[in-house]
Chain A
Amino acid sequence: MIDDFILRAALAGLGVALAAAPLGCFVVWRRMAYFGDATSHAAILGVALALATDLPVFAGVLAVALAMALIISTLTDRQVSSDALLGVLAHAALALGLVAVSFIDGVQVDLESYLFGEILAVTTRDVVVIWTGAGLVLALLVWRWQALLTSTLSADLATASGISARREQLILTLALALTVAVAIKVVGALLIAAMLVIPAATARPFARTPEAMAAYALAAGSLAALGGLFGAFTFDTPAGPSIVTMAAALFAISAALSPLLRRAER
């Protein structure tokens, strides 16, 4: 039943794009790329936790990603430049996760699928989990959209209007953890951050409003998912990295067009 598993893979990829593209815009606007890295790398630790306790992988990843995101969110709350701190956390989380997984018997063979994803092996249940999680992320973002944008622009501006910048940050943190948990099966812990940042960056030159940028990012993310899958079949390459490669190719095209677009704007 080759058709079925292609369909499931395509649906899984689109589900991830649905959550990652609009959330990725906030990651880019708020310069949270490293934040995304650290949170997604922590997912491997979540995998270890899930395997050790017989929890579903989704639950383990969600729990650890959320904990990691909250820790980072608290540590960087004071808006001190925390580039180095985030770098430390991102790599420490990954290393710790890999070490933790090595303590669990019989997982070595599976490790690669958690690092790079295993989109061709997703089950119908996985697809349902992915779309539910992605739907939640999208609903959160739509619900808080105006407040999130205002607090992204300026925390003071938001506060003066009665919006708690801290609460909006927590909502993004929650959305990020959910996205990581949803995406680990598809692109793997190492490349989740790529699906956040690359489609958003691809969309930027074409957009004149935040909403347009999110929509174009969604288009770029979806195209990357489907094109990457197609490439993986055609050239027999690993699916997760193929999707990210496709996303990067779209970004390169967008970056090449960007000077022309800027000239047209004037």
Chain B
Amino acid sequence: MSPLIETRNLRLAYGGRTVLRDVNIKIDRGEIVTIVGPNGSGKSSLLRALIGAVRPLEGSVRRAPGLRIGYVPQSLAIDATLPLTVSRFLNLPVRVSADVAHAALVDAGVGDLGQRQLGALSGGQFQRVLLARALLQQPDILILDEATQGLDQPGSAKFYQQIDAVRRTRGCAVLMVSHDLHVVMAASDRVLCLNGHVCCEGTPQVVADAPEYRALFGTGTEGALALYRHHHDHSHSHDHDHDHDHDAHDHKEPAA
């Protein structure tokens, strides 16, 4: 089966400076792939190149013909002059029936927000609405850029549960960038670690053990990594809270 998206020797520049080089990746139908990497490692640039918003300096991005992408951006600045209800937003760019739109909001756990103005939502509600909109377009692949930014721990855990459910029920592929290393990596089929290039790639276990990954996320990751393994080994046997590890989690991001 041909991949949904494939890059060949991709090189991306931002403001004349190369941010990413020699990227050869492919995303297959139905897999969950996570991109990790320090700030400025080219994560968002890569996503934007994959959706076609950035023209590569070299190399190419090949999307499967007719590929439908559900894109959930990092954030969305709604100009105060633009009146937009949540239900109207769900109808962009493809119109859907009111029932379908409402069902999508209920699925996302924000069923009562349809008539609210988009700009008046909280961060968590907003992310859920963005996800609901992306899913309404019946995507072959969901692309999420730091989608849990601004969500608290239970909020982002629920968000990932929903994404996992979406993958299972609709079979769409998921490609995401995230800072929540431990949660995200546990849920992924494959992890790509970026730092100006793809420095390592593989199953979460393989990447977590890779020296390149350890060099990047070094000492600060110990806690998160431990937590990740904890999750990975025991996630089916219990689901108690891991609040005690959050401080360590906060330290994992190296200064860029």
A interface residue numbers (CB < 8 A to B):
28-31, 146-147, 149-150, 152-161, 163, 200-201, 204, 207-210, 212-213
Contact = CB atoms under 8 A, between A and B. Distances in A.
B52 A160 contact: yes
Contact of A210 (B52, B82, B93): B82
Interface of B: 48, 51-53, 69-71, 73, 76, 78-79, 81-85, 88-89, 91-95, 115, 117, 137, 143
Contacts of A150: 92-93
Contacts of A160: 51-53, 69-71, 143
A-B CB proximity, top 10 nearest: A160-B71, A160-B51, A150-B93, A159-B53, A207-B83, A29-B82, A160-B69, A150-B92, A146-B93, A156-B53
A161 B117 CA distance: 23
A200 B83 CA distance: 11
A209 B86 CA distance: 10
Contacts of B51: 156, 159-160
Contacts of B53: 155-156, 159-160
Most buried by A among B48, B76, B92, B137: B92
Main secondary structure of the interface of B (DSSP, over half): loop
Contacts of A157: 71, 73, 76, 92
Contacts of A207: 83
Contact of A209 (B73, B76, B83): B83
Contacts of A149: 92-93
Nearest to B93: A150
B52 A159 contact: yes
A200 B82 CA distance: 10
A152 B79 CA distance: 9
Contacts of A152: 82
Contacts of B70: 160
Max chain A CB contacts within 10 Å: which of B70, B89, B137?
A: B89
13 contacts: A28-B81, A29-B79, A146-B94, A150-B92, A153-B76, A153-B92, A158-B93, A161-B69, A163-B93, A207-B83, A208-B83, A209-B85, A210-B88
B85 A208 contact: yes
Contacts of B82: 29, 152-153, 210
A146 B95 contact: yes
A208 B87 CA distance: 11
- Count chain B CB atoms within 10 A of each CB in A154, A159, A161, A210 and give the residue with the most: A161
A147 B81 contact: no
A210 B48 contact: no
Given A29-B81, A146-B94, A154-B76, 18 more contacts: A28-B81, A146-B92, A146-B93, A147-B93, A152-B82, A153-B76, A153-B84, A153-B89, A156-B53, A156-B73, A157-B71, A159-B51, A160-B143, A207-B83, A208-B117, A209-B84, A210-B83, A210-B84
B131 to A, nearest CB: 13
A235 B137 CA distance: 56
A212 B115 CA distance: 14
A204 B81 contact: yes
Nearest to A211: B88
Q: Which of A30, A150, A154, A213 has the most CB of B within 10 A?
A: A154
Nearest to A28: B81
A156 to B, nearest CB: 5
B107 to A, nearest CB: 20
Nearest to B15: A78
Contacts of A163: 93
Contacts of B137: 161
A155 B115 CA distance: 24
Contact of B83 (A30, A146, A159, A212): A212
A209 B116 CA distance: 11
Nearest to B48: A156
A28 B80 CA distance: 10
Nearest to B83: A207
Contacts of A31: 79
Nearest to B82: A29
Most central of A155, A200, A209 by chain B CB within 10 Å:
A209
Nearest to B73: A156
Q: Which of B71, B91, B95, B115 has the most chain A CB atoms closer than 10 A to its own CB?
A: B71
Nearest to B71: A160
Contacts of B84: 153, 209-210
Greatest chain A CB density within 10 A among B53, B70, B137 is at B53
A200 B51 CA distance: 33
Contacts of A147: 93
A213 B79 CA distance: 14
Contacts of A159: 51-53
